[in-house]
Amino acid sequence: MNRSTRARTLTGAALALATAMALTACGGDGDAPSDAEPKKQTKSSDAAASVENPVVASYDGGLYVLDGETLKLAKTIELPGFNRVNPAGDEDHVVISTDSGFRLFDAARQEFTGVEYKGAKPGHVVRHGGKTVLFTDGTGEVNAFDPAKLAGGKQPKTRSYTSAEPHHGVAIELADGELLTTLGTEEKRTGALVLDRDGKEIARSEDCPGVHGEAAAEGEVVGLGCEDGVLLYKNGEFTKVDAPGEYARTGNQAGSDASPILLGDYKTDPEAELKRPTRISLIDTRTAKMRLVDLGTSYSFRSLARGPHGEALVLGTNGVPHVIDPETGKAERKIDAVGDWTQPLDWQQPRPTLFVRDHTAYVSDPGKRRLHSFDLDSGEKVTSVTLPKGTNELSGTVAGH
């Protein structure tokens, strides 16, 4: 019996903690690079037993590793500075973005492995089709690997590509070996290109100003956020989904293999010090059309996720995760998770964050040092925990993407 099956047996069908797509978090308003503050050393507490379906949360000065079912704190890892956390793509590891680059962390065993992809300003981490792709903003380097090869702490065979110029970018590898990666410079981002398995360019579009973020929908249709809509890559060709207005930014998205519709944010004021959108965008990859839905509450870049059936999930500043049918745009359920909160001006500062894994939604409440888990099918709270410090980023292991 594997690890996921054991956890499912313990929690019951409604609490199954298997795999699902989770939002690739990005900096602040969709522009800030993922550089971290300097740090000198890494320390951890005493060794602990292996953790089932671990959840990892960052705090100012380190990481908390928690049991995904009970939320019991298994271990505290001291790691000074601002660090980012993303699933690595298997049931054991997460990727930690530090000032020196991407580091692989074995969350099940609560220890860093020897695997590291060094480079300034480590940025987006994308999981798709059995591959995990890292984009290093400071160098423009792309590294793709099979997360199943991380077992044993050894460096997996890696496919590498270096962008023409460094920029805050993102890349994704498709099932047939095509590599889609963004185009840009430190001053301006314009679109994306696609390389075949042998590294030959086979498609290009520069019709995506301010390109930022990606998501994959059912049928392996990839969406890239632009300042005037969304750029789709489908069946070997790029298609532009226009948004109303001269400026309508969709810089953060979440996709699901179970839905042809992408979930995106929707920001319309280019001069705002901090954009506080109340509308979301739903991009239908079948028709290349965009639908706008007003939630009646604002949200942040750490508020978007997808459920196990393709549900669109948005954590509002009213403290409520909205469970939305992407086909209709109607909220099927609203979960009373945390109280009202205000998005901080600095994107690196903590705020309530949503992480979804299969049928379970995890919601942090950093102001109260709390972390909660909820059953998405029933909307009921599963458990809660109070941590020594308020958390910032929230993620965990997610396999089978």
Are 338 and 319 in contact by the 8 Å Cβ rule? The answer is yes
C-alpha distances (whole Å) from 138 to each of 31, 95, 169, 291, 343 are: 14, 18, 10, 35, 27
Q: What's the Rg (C-alpha) of the chain?
A: 19
pTM (predicted TM-score): 0.88
Distance between CA atoms of residues 233 and 240, nearest Å = 9
Are 169 and 196 in contact by the 8 Å Cβ rule? The answer is no
Distance between start and end Cα atoms, the chain: 20
CA within 13 Å, CB half, 329:
13
Distance between CA atoms of residues 273 and 16, nearest Å = 41
H or E element, residue 331: strand 331-334
Distance between CA atoms of residues 152 and 50, nearest Å = 14
Are 147 and 129 in contact by the 8 Å Cβ rule? The answer is no
Q: What is the pLDDT of residue 42?
A: 43
Dihedrals φ, ψ of 6, to 5°? -60, -45
Q: What is the pLDDT of residue 400?
A: 65
Closest of 37, 46, 68 to residue 395, by C-alpha: 68
Tokens found for residue 283: 């991009």
Tens of each residue's pLDDT in the chain, 401 residues: 444 433 333 333 333 333 333 333 355 555 544 444 333 344 444 445 789 999 999 999 999 999 999 999 999 999 998 999 999 999 999 999 999 999 999 999 999 999 999 999 999 999 999 999 999 999 999 999 999 999 888 899 999 999 999 999 999 999 999 999 999 999 999 999 999 999 999 999 999 999 999 999 999 999 999 999 999 999 999 999 999 878 999 999 999 999 999 999 999 988 887 889 999 999 999 999 999 999 999 999 999 999 999 999 999 999 999 999 999 999 999 999 999 999 998 888 999 999 999 999 999 999 999 999 999 999 999 999 999 999 999 999 998 65
